C-alpha cells in the first residue's frame, strides 16, 4: 500500500525544486514514487496542478506507434499514425493515475494564496535519508496531509523539525 504525503511550501518554485530533487533521490533507490504533483494556489484564486507525467503526450506517443503499426497492416501507415495519435492523446487526457485530481484541487484550495504544495504518492522509502537529502528546504516545508499512521506521521514531523533546526544552525554558523 502506498502512502500519501503532502508538504507545503511558501512558493511554487521551491516545490518544483524539491520534486526535481526527489527524482534524483529516486534514482538512488532511497524512495519509490508512484506519483508526484505540485499544486499551486495562485494569486488569482485558482488551483493549478503540475503533474509529473503528461498523460496526454504519453498516450499520443503510444497511440501513434500502434496506429502506424495497424496502418501498415492496411497499407496506409500515415492515416493509422494520425488516428492512433488522436485516440491515444484523448485516452491519456481522460485517464487519471496516481493521486485523484479532484482531491488535489480541493486540497490546493486550503493553501494560502501564492503558496504551493508537493503531493507525493510513496510506495516505499527511507524517510530519514530522504529528509536528510532535502534538509535545505526544511525551514520552509510543513507537513500538510498524510495517510501515514500517527506514529509514522509524528516521526516525519520530528525529522522535518530536526532538519529545519540543523539547517538554521548551519545558516547562522
What pLDDT band is residue 61 in, cutting at 50, 70 and 90? low
Query: What CATH code would you report for 3-53+97-172?
Result: 3.40.1520
Percentage above 90 pLDDT, the chain: 1
Show the cell assigned to 26: 529516486
Vertex 37 angle, CA 57 and 166, to 5°: 140
Q: What is the mean pLDDT of the chain?
A: 74
Residue range(s) occupied by CATH 3.40.1520 in the chain:
3-53+97-172
pLDDT digits (tens, 9 = 90+) for 79-95: 555 656 665 555 554 44
pLDDT bracket for residue 55 (50, 70, 90): very low
**Tens of pLDDT, residues 155-172:** 777 777 777 777 677 767
DSSP category for residue 112? P
Average pLDDT estimate for 116-139: 78
pLDDT at 95: 44
Name which of 24-33, 44-53, 90-99, 127-136 the model is least confident about. 90-99
Assess contact for 67 and 87: CB atoms under 8 A. Answer: yes
Given pLDDT bands bounded at 50, 70 and 90, which one contains residue 1? low
DSSP helix/strand/coil, 32: strand
Question: Does position 38 have pLDDT exceeding 80, yes or no?
Answer: yes
Amino acid at each position: 500500500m502506498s502512502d500519501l504525503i503532502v508538504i507545503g511550501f511558501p512558493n511554487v518554485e521551491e516545490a518544483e525544486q524539491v520534486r526535481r530533487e526527489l527524482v534524483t533521490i529516486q534514482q538512488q533507490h532511497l524512495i519509490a514514487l508512484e506519483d508526484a504533483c505540485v499544486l499551486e494556489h495562485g494569486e488569482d484564486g485558482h488551483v493549478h496542478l503540475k503533474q509529473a507525467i503528461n498523460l496526454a503526450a504519453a498516450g499520443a506517443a503510444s497511440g501513434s506507434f500502434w496506429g502506424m503499426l495497424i496502418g501498415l497492416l492496411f497499407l496506409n501507415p500515415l492515416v493509422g499514425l494520425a488516428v492512433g495519435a488522436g485516440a491515444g492523446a484523448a485516452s491519456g487526457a481522460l485517464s487519471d493515475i496516481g493521486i485523484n485530481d479532484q482531491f488535489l484541487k480541493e486540497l490546493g484550495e486550503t493553501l494560502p494564496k501564492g503558496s504551493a504544495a508537493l503531493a507525493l504518492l510513496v510506495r516505499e522509502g527511507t524517510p530519514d535519508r530522504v529528509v536528510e537529502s532535502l534538509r535545505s528546504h526544511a525551514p520552509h516545508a510543513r507537513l500538510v496531509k498524510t495517510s501515514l499512521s500517527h506514529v509514522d506521521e509524528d516521526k516525519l514531523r520530528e525529522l522535518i523539525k530536526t532538519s529545519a533546526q540543523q539547517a538554521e544552525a548551519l545558516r547562522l554558523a
